[in-house]
Structures are given as C-alpha cells and as structure tokens.
Structure 1
Amino acid sequence: MDKKYEDSIHRTGRIGIIIGIILMLGIPAVISSVYDVWPESAAQVITAGSGLLAVFIPTCIAEVFSYTPILGSSAYITFLTGNVMNLKVPVVVNAQIMSDTASGTEEGDAVATIGVAVSSIVTTLIIAGGVLLLVPLRPILTSPTVQTATTYLLPALFGGIFLSFVNNDCGDYVAKGKPLTMILPLLVVFGVNAVFPLAGMEGFVVLICMVLTVLCAVVLYKAGIIKMTPKEKKKKA
C-alpha cells in the first residue's frame, strides 16, 4: 500500500476520532456545567459504569480485532458512527464485490472508505428526516400492522447479513469450503448457551470464537478440505 496514502488516512482518522471523543464528552460536560448536575464523586461514576464497562470493553476489543481486517481504513469512520455489523461491514463487503477489489489492497481500502462514508451520510440524512417526520408519521408507525412487521425486522436483518458471509470469497482467492469453519464455533456457542446463558458475556464469546474459528480454518486447510484458488483477474476494457 502507498506509504503516503496510508499515513494520510491514519492521520485523518486519528484526528477525526479525537474530535469525536471531545464532542461526545464535551457536550455532557457543558450541560452538567450549565445546570450544575455533576456527579457527587468519582466513586459514584465508577459504580454506575462498572457494569457497563464489564460488558462493553470485551465487546469493543473483539470488534476491533474481528472487523478491522475487513474494514481497513474505514474502521475509523465505522467505529465513530456505529452500526458496525448490521450496516457498515455489509456495505464494505458489497462495495468491494461490486468494484472487484479485495480487502488488504489499496484499491479495496479506498472503496471501503468511500462506501462507509456514503453510508454514514445517508444514515444521517435518514435519521434527520425521521426526526422531522416523527410526529406526522406517528399514526402510521404506531399502527398494529407496522408494529407486527417490526418484530421481524432484526431476524430478517441478521439473517441477510449471515447469508452474505456464507460464501467462498477470500479477497484475491476463492476459499472452497470456507463456510465449514463456522460449524464448530456455532455448535459450541449454542451448546454452552443451552446450559449456561451467555447474555452479558458476548465480548468474551466473540474473542473465544475468533480463536476457535482460526484453529478450525487451519485444521481444515491442512486436511485439504479448504482449498485456496487464486481468482482470475478480469481484463480491463
């Protein structure tokens, strides 16, 4: 990857993250100052936040390690704007497929960044439109038909995301049998969850499943079940 491009994108991404953190912490700080509603002590903050930190710190670590290889430089925008698994990762995957680029290449990295940026802008516009139209659309949004439909929204969303990853695509290679790597981790998660509920420990589960999936991939590759074949390069017109 071009060193100048890499340094530029990382510098811009770090500056953006710092600005985002300042805004996220600064707005509550200003409101607390104006209305004089600061917490009584640091212990009070730690007590209130310790439970959330115990859940979200492992989850955030797992997301960084699992999603960054897919997202590339677009990880800066992705982790700042959110909706990682349900929106940004599918956007990156589909953008790279449509542009015939691969993760880990300069072209694929640029396509991923553009895709996530456009997705973030569109999402912001939709949210803004929803806020403005919330009152006029309330009768429709609260109707029994729409409420029934929304109960199927998340299953349909994650079902589509799951199917989008059940393929043999592996960047510049076709990995025949790649979906087999997810069988053992899924069985382990379902089996353990049936005996010992894993709610609240998703971050630890993802980290463990990452290691287990890599081990499954190595074993299946060594056994010749997963076969790597270079993709045929399309001739440019």
Structure 2
Amino acid sequence: MAAEQINEQKYHEVWTTPVIRLGISTMLLACVLSFIPLIYLYMVHGILPPFSAALTAWGLVASVFGAFYIVEPISYYPILGLAGTYISFLSGNISNLRLPCSAMAQEVVGVEEGTKQAEIIGTMGIIGSVVVNLAGVTLAAFVGAWIIGLFPAFVADAFRKFTAPAIFGAVFGQFAMRQPKLAPFALAIPLTLLHFKAPIWLVILASVFGTIAISRIFYKAKLIH
C-alpha cells in the first residue's frame, strides 16, 4: 500500500470517523435538549401548544430562514471543514465569528485551503473562538450593558446598528483579497436583485450559487486558481 493511501486511511480512522460519530451524537443531543422547555411547560403547568400552531410557527421561520438550510452548509463547508461544521452549527455565530476565525487560522499558518491540514488548523481556530466567545459572552452578560451605558447615546447607537455590518464587511474584504476577480460579481449579484426587489431567499441563493458558478467558469478558464 502506498504511503499516501496509508495516510488517507489513518486520517479517516483517527479524524473523520470519530468526528462524524461525535458530531452526530452532539447534534442529536442538542435537538433533544431543545425540547426541555416544552417538556417542562407540559409536565409542570400542563401547557402544550397544538401541533397546528407549532407547524405554523415553523412555517413562518422557514419562510424567512429556509434558504439558509441549503446555503450555509454548502457555502461554509470549504472553510469550516467537517469538524468545524459540526462545532459551528452547534455553537452559532458562524458567519460573523466561526468562519473568520477558521479562515484566519488557516491563513496565519499558511496551509492550502481544502486540504486535510487546513481542516485541522481551521478546527483549532474555531475551538479557540468558542472558548473565547464563551468567556466574552459571560463577561458581557454582566458588564456589557453597563459599559454601553457609559458611552454617549450616538456611540451606543452606532454599536447596536453597525457592529454586525462591520463584521460582515471585514469578512468580505478578507476573502475578496484572496480572489479579487470574483469580488465584483459577489457584490453585483445581490445588489442587482435587491434593486429589483427580489425576495431575500432568492437573493441569498443567487448570491451564493451564482458566485460559485462564476468561480467555476473562471477556474476552467484558468483566470483563477
């Protein structure tokens, strides 16, 4: 057996298989635990919403966020990797925290995107972000509101309104620097659709898969690598 085949088998045994097993277990556990408040209301207070109301509520949520069910796992996976995908979807804050941390870790170490080394390094970056984020959120829960209250009203208002756009802009800039030829298309697609008042779910799908399609065309034409 060639050395590459041995390494591939070892990687599958040591990394891929345990990650899938642990990832599926933790995700299923999180799904079960999500029903604890509902179980508590039923067991203690005898309150149980009718199935039709629950289905309607899910439909309202799916109509707004349904596109993300498809877009996020596909578009994030190349950067997050297998383990990073499980961790990120369990901990949340993917686009504004987990994804940038994974990408930055890979860039700092200098590994090639999409490789096994990149997946392991990216996962380490995501784990670090979870630990730091947990400490930061805990601290913010106690002193965050108090600190914001010390700022002038216009500064506090700016924090609330522009923090998320600033993060998303920084993430876009980070990836645009890697493939500057694709950046104009990544911006033009959503801006064009928004100009014509297309539904948000269509904007999201078209932006992600449209950019992927253009990337594929450029790659075949050897305009990017």
2:35 to 22, 25, 46: 25
1:3 aligns with 2:4: no
My pick for the range that moved more, 13-22 or 125-134, is: 125-134
1:127 aligns with 2:137: yes
Which structure is richer in relative contact order (CA contacts within 8 A, separation 6 or more)?
1
2 CA distance for matches of 1:188 and 1:26?
Answer: 42
1:116 aligns with 2:126: yes
> Residue 87 of structure 1: CA displacement?
0.7
**TM-score after normalising by structure 2:** 0.83
Q: Helix, strand or coil: the match of 2:177?
A: coil
* Amino acid corresponding to residue 89 of structure 2 in structure 1: F
Structure 2 unmatched ranges of 5 or more: 1-7
Aligned residue in 1 for 2:63 = 54
Structure 1 unmatched ranges of 5 or more: 169-177, 229-237
2 CA distance for matches of 1:114 and 1:196?
Answer: 40
> Residue 119 of structure 1: CA displacement?
0.7
2 CA distance for matches of 1:36 and 1:90?
Answer: 44
Pair 27,111 (structure 1): closer, same or farther in 2 beyond 3 Å: farther
Aligned residue in 1 for 2:175 = 165
Given that residues 96 and 102 in structure 1 are in contact (C-alpha distance below 8 angstroms), is that contact kept between their aligned partners in structure 2? yes
> Residue 21 of structure 1: CA displacement?
1.3
RMSD over aligned CA atoms reads: 2.2
**TM-score after normalising by structure 1:** 0.80
My pick for the range that moved more, 16-25 or 190-199, is: 190-199
> Residue 134 of structure 1: CA displacement?
5.1
> Residue 163 of structure 1: CA displacement?
0.7
> Residue 210 of structure 1: CA displacement?
3.1
Larger strand proportion of the pair: 1
Given that residues 140 and 146 in structure 1 are in contact (C-alpha distance below 8 angstroms), is that contact kept between their aligned partners in structure 2? no
Q: Helix, strand or coil: the match of 1:103?
A: coil
1:93 to 81, 86, 103: 103
Larger helix proportion of the pair: 2
1 CA distance for matches of 2:95 and 2:21?
Answer: 25
Seq. identity, %: 24
2:74 to 61, 65, 82: 65
CA-to-aligned-CA distance 1:104-128 (integer Å, 9 cap, x gap)? 3232212111211121121111111
Q: Helix, strand or coil: the match of 1:180?
A: coil
* Amino acid corresponding to residue 211 of structure 1 in structure 2: F
Aligned residue in 1 for 2:199 = 198
Runs of 4+ in 1 over 6 A off after TM superposition: none
2:162 to 152, 173, 183: 152
2 CA distance for matches of 1:98 and 1:138?
Answer: 32
1:38 to 48, 51, 69: 48
